[in-house]
Amino acid sequence: MRLSTTSDVWWKNAVVYCLDVETYADGNGDGIGDFRGLAQHVDHLDRLGVTCIWLMPFFPTPDRDDGYDISDFYSVDPRLGTLGDFVEFMRVANDRGIRVIADLVVNHTSDEHPWFKDARSSRDSRYRDWYIWSDKPEPDDPKGVVFPDAEDSLWQLDESTGQYYFHRFYRFQPDLNTANPEVRDEIARVLGFWMELGLSGFRVDAVPFLVEEVKSEEQKPDGKLPDVHSFLRETRAFMKRRNGGAMLLGEVNLEYPDLLKYFGDDLGDEVTMCFDFIGMQRMYLSLARGDATPLADALRERPAPPKDCHWATFVRNHDELTLDKLSEKERQEVFKAFGPKKDMQLFGRGLRRRLPPMMDGDMRRIKMVYSLLFSLPGTPVLFYGEEIGMGEDLTAEGRQAVRTPMQWTPNRNAGFSSADTLPIKLVEGPFGPEKVNVSAQRRDPDSLLMWITTLVERYRECPELAWGDYEILKTDTPEVLAHRADIDGETVVVLHNFSDQELTCKVPIKGLAPDEILTDLLIEGTVKVPKNGQTTFDLAPYDSRWLRASPPDEAPAASAAIEDSESPDTGR
């Protein structure tokens, strides 16, 4: 496959890295991460192979919801730097060939935003219709309350005007009325502003809630509301006019048939990429059971996105590890395996843990999971600290458990800051910076950091994984997930053992040329596929195998001798 044909749709084989400026690196010694500190660590991301940085909210904020309560969409929070610092960071990232996207949080504002302050000052305010008001609270669906630990309603009384305003999230985050054309125009200005400063796109927060189906007779006498899809189409069209290569990464946690609509169905004119929440949740169920079947079933069910759109795959994100699409029985299985204590769980639907502690530090299992991330069909998204195996701080509140400072060195403040004290506590114990940090792992060829660096390299070398048609292969061993990706006559076959046992499995690999062999891309060795296609592999516990099919004279270098798979292939 010619890589020159893929540059316009760069997101399909990108490596996305999500970080919070506040917790990444402190450049001025005040204990808070900032853009100056981040700019000094861009080379770490470059060495890792990151091609796109996703910035969590960095805008001015009262900071009651970790920056998601925004009070100004056109500036940088003073704690994190200035617009000048932002531009300098962008220059450094662009110099390394790394694109940057940012959170687009336009379903609500802070109640301290000037728009809302003006809106609540009078029913005749110019900004009144920028928010959603009602004389009485509409009936609530308890399932619609996003944070049941803090809120019991979606409506809050504003005593100054005697009406209730709608808030899907916290009461200090009033929802914007995105059905209002003026609000839509302002959102377009926000996007255009940051795109002029170099952003290549946005991660769209809580996409299904962007246009709330809340009828307010005062605001919409005809009771008609534009839907979220028209809003997304308008937004995508605006971005393409400004920058043809801009993308939207959508947080759409819905069942596959409903989710597909947010791509724009067959047209693909809405969200460019959607996170695969269902595949992620089924992966954890497979890990809990030591059985690849739940994940394999999800991948078979997952519909193909429209042309030039893609799925985003992930192991962990910055929120709770939601398990809401599993049945109650399945969710309890995962809780029992990876978060049996109540303080490890959140909202009754998810876990507030990182992967390494959930895996009890078993590096074989951890490495297998990240091999999955980079080989499954989709664009891999990493959350900062995953590359070194950071843990969580369960003494922190809620989602903050996984948003601790980045661990650069084993020294004072983990190399994050030179301040005397830190406002955000470092992780302690076996996953603290004394044992888990960038500087040590950079020098250790067997470290998780070097393993993920290798996976990134192999992923970028295998356009089949990102661009190809994939097929989940049937095996005689339910513990093993086997899939293949094909494009333009090129094939990559991948196997993962979800169990803690050595296994021998047979995998049907058909349709290859008679003389083609499989060359392992992660270890030394080659495998010859027999005429009937039934290829036998011996897999170690939690083993990972990536194999490329090619004629012998075109195969990647391998020092091991060619094995005939009619005899078992040890593979290790």
Residues assigned a catalytic role: 205, 251
Task: Considering only the C-alpha atoms of the chain, give the largest distance between any 2 of them, rounded to a whole number of Å.
Answer: 81
Could you write out the three-class secondary structure of 54-104? EECCCCCCCCCCCCCCCCCCCCCCCCCCCHHHHHHHHHHHHHCCCEEEEEE
The answer to whether 391 and 430 are in contact (CB under 8 A) is yes
Tell me which residue of 489, 481, 488, 487 sits closest to 465, measured CA to CA: 487
The answer to whether 199 and 247 are in contact (CB under 8 A) is no
Q: Cβ–Cβ contacts within 10 Å for residue 336, how many?
A: 10
Rounded Cα distance, 369 and 385, in Å: 15
Q: Cβ–Cβ contacts within 10 Å for residue 213, how many?
A: 10
Tell me which residue of 437, 432, 392, 417 sits closest to 79, measured CA to CA: 417
Rounded Cα distance, 242 and 244, in Å: 7
Tally the C-alpha atoms within 13 A of residue 391's C-alpha that lie toward its C-beta. Answer: 23
In residues, how long is the chain? Answer: 572
The answer to whether 89 and 38 are in contact (CB under 8 A) is yes
Rounded Cα distance, 485 and 1, in Å: 13
Rounded Cα distance, 451 and 567, in Å: 29
